[in-house]
Amino acid sequence: MSDSFWNEAKKYRAIMQIMVAGFIPFGMVVTYVWIKMFEFNFNFIVPFIGLLLWYLFYLRVVNKFKSSVCPKCGELAFGDSPNILTKMNCIECGLRNE
């Protein structure tokens, strides 16, 4: 049971790290492609919407990660931990992935 919990936590953490690292490059690519394909006065609108959707998906992944329940103590394992991209231990009981 604990192994599946940690595998899921690692999966969500990896997705979050990829999304944080890809936010600016994604925005640059969408902006460049949009400006080259369509030229009109409001070129910033579509890239802004694309980045907004990217961020909303990121928030959904973070919410799933933070709502994971620790298999040992039954509390929220990662809760409001400020370092969710680096540490992998329960904030309540300290359970670590070993």
For the segment 46-86, what is each residue's pLDDT rounded down to a tens digit?
778 888 888 898 888 888 888 888 888 888 877 776 666 66
| Whole-number pLDDT of residue 20 | 84
Determine the Cα–Cα distance for residues 2 and 88; give it in Å rounded to an integer: 13
Q: Average pLDDT over the chain, rounded to whole?
A: 79
| Whole-number pLDDT of residue 62 | 84
> Can you give the pTM of this predicted structure?
0.71
Q: Are 92 and 74 in contact (CB under 8 A)?
A: no
Q: Are 88 and 6 in contact (CB under 8 A)?
A: yes
Is the pLDDT reported for residue 1 higher than 60? no
Residue whose pair of structure tokens reads 């961020």 in the numeric block: 55
Is the pLDDT reported for residue 41 higher than 80? no
